[in-house]
Amino acid sequence: MAGESPAAVIVDADGNQVGVLLDGTVYRLQTIGKVVDSSGVQVDPAAEGTLASLNASTVDAITEQTVILRQMFLQLRKMNFYLSQVTDVDADDAMFTEESS
């Protein structure tokens, strides 16, 4: 069974194992799951790449992007705060000044 996914016992909505009684013996219903990639080729999940298998430059790039995204998020929060402070005023109440040259 090397390379195959282990069998999984089927359970009902209440978490009870589903079985069939035949000649005084209960046989549990099972299924064998297979994991396939996007092209339909069967893969072994244990052999797939993990975060630990990424090289250092990839981890550094992900970390840098995370820092940039966090900074952008903080800037957006700050902008949201300032925009929430803006109140609507009538044009008659607004004071405009012209700069003279």
Residue 14 lies in a domain: yes
Q: How many domains does the chain have?
A: 2
Entry pTM: 0.34
Domain-embedded: residue 40: no
Instruction: Identify whether 97 is part of a domain.
Output: no
DSSP result, 45-78: GGGS--GGGS-HHHHHHHHHHHHHHHHHHHHHHH
pLDDT of 99 reads: 60
pLDDT score recorded for residue 86: 77
Tens of pLDDT along 1-26? 455 555 677 788 888 888 888 888 88
Q: What is the pLDDT of residue 1?
A: 44
- Average pLDDT, integer, range 86-98: 61
Task: Round to whole Å and give the CA distance between 31 and 39.
Answer: 22
Q: Give the Cα separation of 4 and 46 in Å (integer).
A: 11
* Side-chain half-sphere exposure of 71, counting CA atoms within 13 A: 6
pLDDT in tens, 55-74: 777 777 788 888 899 999 99
Q: Is residue 26 part of a domain?
A: yes
